[in-house]
């Protein structure tokens, strides 16, 4: 099976999204499925100017991620709730990818996390629209990890229900 790419969808330094991405990687590893994290912190600091529009494809740092998105067939997007939607850097990342080859006929799973009560439900809905527009299929099962700060401890999810959903979704994406 081809490698699954897990996108940590923010470039915030202390992001819990990256910890959640690592939890997904651990689950794929345990099932013997190759998985790699794409951390949006790896985008160049001037990405908005060096990696978009007439400059798309010209930044060596951004191209490392761009090539992985083109090559990958299945993705997990870890979506933090920022101002009732997903982080702007994630949209900028998508806007700099090759269109339509980065997403057409590919398969994606989304997981949402928030400090508050919504678990990024709207953010995932917004991002689903974008992925569908770009030609990708999105798994219906989208775990909503509300109040994430209280359910993570040293890189592990302590909430049994959250972990049950993650394990189920990982298997569903493998079979998707
Ligand atoms: C710019 C910004 C906006 C945010 N907006 C929301 C919000 O609308 N609702 C919410 O519950 N949490 C909000 N948060 C908190 C994040 O959901 C929280 O930090 C969570 O851990 C997921 O984001 P992280 O991966 O950056 O840690 C916001 C955080 C930032 C940095």
Residue 11 pLDDT: 98
CATH number (3.40.50.360, 3.40.50.720, 1.10.3720.10, 2.40.110.10) of 4-175 reads: 3.40.50.360
Residue 47 pLDDT: 96
CA dihedral 25, 11, 89, 165 (to 10 degrees): 30
Using alpha carbons, select from 100, 95, 40, 90 the residue that is nearest to residue 64: 40
The closest-lying atom of ligand 1 relative to the alpha carbon of residue 8 is: 25
The closest-lying atom of ligand 1 relative to the alpha carbon of residue 84 is: 8
Give the pLDDT confidence of 112-171 residue by residue, as tens digits: 999 999 999 999 999 999 999 999 999 999 999 999 999 999 999 999 999 999 999 999
Residue 155 pLDDT: 94
State mean pLDDT over 48-72: 95
Task: Measure the CA–CA gap between 84 and 82, rounded to whole angstroms.
Answer: 5
Residue 146 pLDDT: 98
One-letter-per-residue 3-state SS of the chain:
CCCEEEEECCCCCCCHHHHHHHHHHHHHHHCCCCEEEEEHHHCCCCHHHHCCHHHCCCCHHHHHHHHHHHHCCEEEEEEECECCECCHHHHHHHHCCCCCCCCCCCEEEEEEECCCCCCCHHHHHHHHHHHHHCCCEECCCCCEECCHHHCEECCEECCHHHHHHHHHHHHHHHHC
In percent, the amount of the chain with pLDDT more than 90 equals: 99
The closest-lying atom of ligand 1 relative to the alpha carbon of residue 9 is: 25
The closest-lying atom of ligand 1 relative to the alpha carbon of residue 83 is: 8
Burial of 162 from C-beta contacts in 10 A (0-12 / 13-18 / 19+): buried
* Centre of ligand 1 from the C-alpha of residue 123, in Å: 11
Burial of 60 from C-beta contacts in 10 A (0-12 / 13-18 / 19+): exposed
The closest-lying atom of ligand 1 relative to the alpha carbon of residue 146 is: 11
Residue 1 pLDDT: 80
Mean pLDDT (the chain) is 97
Residue 120 pLDDT: 98
Note the pTM of the prediction, 2 decimals.
0.98
Report the nearest-CA residue for atom 28 of ligand 1: 82
Instruction: List, chain by chain if needed, residues with CB within 6 Å of any ligand 1 atom.
Output: 10, 12, 15-17, 80-84, 113-116, 118, 148
* Centre of ligand 1 from the C-alpha of residue 14, in Å: 11
* Centre of ligand 1 from the C-alpha of residue 106, in Å: 28
Give the pLDDT confidence of 78-103 residue by residue, as tens digits: 999 999 999 999 999 999 999 999 99
Would you kindly state where each structural domain of the chain is located, as residue ranges? 4-175
Q: 13, 82, 83: which to mutate for ligand 1, most atoms within 8 A of CB?
A: 82
């Amino acid at each position: 099976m081809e490698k699954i790419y897990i996108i940590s969808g923010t470039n915030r330094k202390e992001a819990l999204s990256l910890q959640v991405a690592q939890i997904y990687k651990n689950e794929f590893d345990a099932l013997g499925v190759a998985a790699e994290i794409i951390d949006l912190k790896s985008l160049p600091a001037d990405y908005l100017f060096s990696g978009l529009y007439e400059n798309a494809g010209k930044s060596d740092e951004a191209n490392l991620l761009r090539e992985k998105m083109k090559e990958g067939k299945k993705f997990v997007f870890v979506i933090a709730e920022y101002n009732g939607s997903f982080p702007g850097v994630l949209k900028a990342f998508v806007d700099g990818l090759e269109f339509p080859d980065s997403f057409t006929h590919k398969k994606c799973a989304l997981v949402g996390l928030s400090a508050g009560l919504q678990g990024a439900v709207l953010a995932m809905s917004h991002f689903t629209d974008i992925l569908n527009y770009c030609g990708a299929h999105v798994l219906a099962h989208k775990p909503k990890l509300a109040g994430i700060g209280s359910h993570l401890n040293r890189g592990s999810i302590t909430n049994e229900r959250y972990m049950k959903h993650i394990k189920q979704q990982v298997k569903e994406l493998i079979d998707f």
